[in-house]
Amino acid sequence: MTNNLLRFTDIGQSYPDKRDASSRKNDFSEIYEDYSNSSALEQASRCSQCGVPFCQIHCPLQNNIPDWLMMTAQGRLKEAYEISASTNNMPEICGRICPQDRLCEGNCVIENGFKSVTIGSVERYLTDNAFKNGWVSPVKPLTIRSQKICIIGAGPGGLAAAEELRKLGYEIDVYDRYDRIGGLLIYGIPNFKLEKSIVERRASLLKDSGINFYLNTEVGKDISFNQLREKYEAVLIATGVYEARDIALPGVGLPNIVPAMTYLTASNRVGLGDKVANFSNGQLDASGKDVVVLGGGDTAMDCVRTATRQGASSVKCVYRRDRTNMPGSLREVKHAEEEGVEFIWLTTPEAYLGQKKIEAIRAVKVRLGSSDSSGRQSPELIANSAHELKCDLAIKAFGFDPEDLKSSFNQPELKVTGWGTISIDFLSKMTSLDGVFAAGDIVRGASLVVWAIRDGRDAALQIHKYVQSKLD
């Protein structure tokens, strides 16, 4: 190939084939097919190799995107994978679930007029191809250290930190309250975005790297936090945030009004073959129901698309702002619309209606007024606009707050912010407790998986510095 780069002027943007909505909404399989080798190389060749790579700048992990795109275009796939994996502990997962339209691809220099490089799809292809070819291997530390590190939480942040610390030779023990490794990746994200075999493959790799996992173990209940501090040289809190945010509305106690994570966890567990009582009795199964999802983030998109696949009679998403101002990925909105979801913009719930269970939601139309402190226009209620939406199952996707770890860990000296997240020194990543660090959503609030990975990597480096300083 004489010129295998800067092909964006003669090669158009092409994502992997997407299954037709009429077929994909009948199952939970991923909606995109795999790139062929030739398609991956061709799409990578569209990269302009610009002098200031905004794709890399806007990636939380600062992935060396132009470099691995260049190597992919040249057919140097193993090298491309190694560069990708050098800054990202889970490139095959980020390639599937990152909102590239808001991050790397949304900031691609050639976006204006030529459409962006399909960075996420190439990233996914590189790691899947590397697994197929046996290029992905467990961590083998060059130095084995005697110090032991404890990580609380087996989600993306905790797993990224565990792998980075294992590379440095530490013995790593990871504690998690759930029965599987992966946290949000397993129980919060539906299969049509991330098949669980992908997460399980990564978990097996970490086990083979010598990382120890203690599942079904809740810190503060099954083992005390003080016991962990005594046993380990350092402790990392990476629990994430799972407490459902709510708004006080009349009728909130009616049956069939559920938090988003309760609903998604039940669906994912059923997909994994688990028995879920409230699913089998119909409370968490959308089949045959008129479903209304309240909220406009990525979790709301996961809920509406899950309900569609469960065979709901109708699925509506009610959001108080418009399409332009919704926090979720616009790509996910498009997928949902293709699958038959109805979006009701500029509308907010006022009350849940029903006798023995929810039968309808009374909603009110809003307009966007002046901007608030964050720069977003504030919703203002429109008088005399109340109307009812038929509803058998209401799913609340208002966001997530952290649980009270000061109480559950019995650590009154653990400082938290006004939002309930753990307060840390942002240089050292250490909490108010010596030798105790924190990373991910429990520090920054509910955010993206890619940010949790970044935070976990940063915390691992600071933990290493701390442990080594104790030896000097």
Q: Is residue 271 part of a domain?
A: yes
Instruction: Sheet with 314-318: list strands edge to edge.
Output: 257-259, 393-396, 290-294, 314-318, 342-344
Q: How many CB atoms lie within 10 A of CB 407?
A: 11
pTM of the model: 0.95
Find tokens 């720069």 and name the residue: 375
User: Residue 408's closest CA among 205, 170, 224, 165?
Assistant: 224
Which run of H or of E encompasses 379? Answer: strand 377-381
Burial of 348 (0-12, 13-18, 19+ CB in 10 A): middle
SS3 49: coil
Residue 141 contacts residue 167 (beta carbons within 8 Å): yes
**Which of 132, 164, 181 marks a domain boundary?**
132
Residues 351 and 407 in one domain: no
Residues 72 and 90 in one domain: yes
Residue 300: which CATH number?
Answer: 3.50.50.60
Find tokens 């990382």 and name the residue: 211
Q: State the pLDDT at residue 377.
A: 85
Phi first, then psi, for residue 412 (nearest 5°) are -60, -20
Tokens of 90: 């889970």
Q: Is residue 449 part of a domain?
A: yes
Residues 125 and 26 in one domain: yes
Q: Which amino acid is at 113?
A: G
DSSP 32: B
Q: State the pLDDT at residue 368.
A: 92
Q: Is residue 272 part of a domain?
A: yes
Name the β-bridge partners of 234: 149
Which run of H or of E encompasses 124? Answer: helix 119-132
SS3 25: coil
Residues 228 and 251 in one domain: no
Q: Which amino acid is at 373?
A: S
**Which of 400, 416, 442 marks a domain boundary?**
400
Residues 304 and 411 in one domain: no
Residue 81: which CATH number?
Answer: 1.10.1060.10
Q: Is residue 20 part of a domain?
A: yes
Q: For the chain, what is the domain count?
A: 3
Residues 320 and 273 in one domain: yes
* 285-340 pLDDT, tens digit each: 999 999 999 999 999 999 999 999 999 999 999 999 999 888 888 899 999 999 99
User: Residue 94's closest CA among 467, 451, 375, 348?
Assistant: 451
Predicted confidence (pLDDT) at residue 256 exceeds the cutoff of 80: yes
Q: Is residue 169 part of a domain?
A: yes
* 270-288 pLDDT, tens digit each: 999 999 988 877 789 999 9
| Rounded CA separation 454/60 (Å) | 7
Q: How many CB atoms lie within 10 A of CB 441?
A: 27
Q: State the pLDDT at residue 213.
A: 98
Altogether, the residues listed in the chain come to a count of 472
Residues 304 and 381 in one domain: yes
* 405-452 pLDDT, tens digit each: 999 999 999 999 999 999 999 999 999 999 999 999 999 999 999 999
* 224-246 pLDDT, tens digit each: 999 999 999 999 999 999 999 99
Percentage of the chain with pLDDT > 90?
A: 90
Q: Which amino acid is at 88?
A: N
Residue 286 contacts residue 312 (beta carbons within 8 Å): yes
Phi first, then psi, for residue 129 (nearest 5°) are -65, -40
Residue 396 contacts residue 379 (beta carbons within 8 Å): no
DSSP 373: T
Q: State the pLDDT at residue 179.
A: 97
Residues 251 and 385 in one domain: yes
Alpha-carbon distance values, 54 to 42, 60, 106, 114, 117 (Å) = 21, 12, 9, 16, 12
* 138-147 pLDDT, tens digit each: 999 999 999 9
Q: Which amino acid is at 414?
A: L
| Rounded CA separation 389/371 (Å) | 29
Mean per-residue pLDDT, 128-135: 98
Mean per-residue pLDDT, 104-121: 90
Q: State the pLDDT at residue 190.
A: 97
Residues 163 and 200 in one domain: yes
Residues 102 and 14 in one domain: yes
Confidence of residue 2 (pLDDT cuts 50, 70, 90): very low
Residue 263 contacts residue 285 (beta carbons within 8 Å): no
Predicted confidence (pLDDT) at residue 18 exceeds the cutoff of 50: yes
Residues 6+ apart with CB under 8 A from 83: 64, 67, 68, 71
Name the β-bridge partners of 243: 401
Over its C-alpha atoms, the chain yields an Rg (Å, rounded) of: 23
Residues 373 and 417 in one domain: no
3-class DSSP string for 221-273? CCECHHHHHHHCCEEEECCCCCEECCCCCCCCCCCCEEEHHHHHHHHHHHHCC
Residues 350 and 366 in one domain: yes
Q: Is residue 141 part of a domain?
A: no
**Which of 101, 132, 163 marks a domain boundary?**
132
Domain of residue 23 covers 7-132
Q: Which carries the bigger pLDDT value, residue 208 or residue 326?
A: 208
Q: Is residue 2 part of a domain?
A: no
Confidence of residue 3 (pLDDT cuts 50, 70, 90): low
Tokens of 437: 């660090």
Q: What angle do CA 233, 441, 65 make, to 5 degrees?
A: 95
Q: Is residue 35 part of a domain?
A: yes
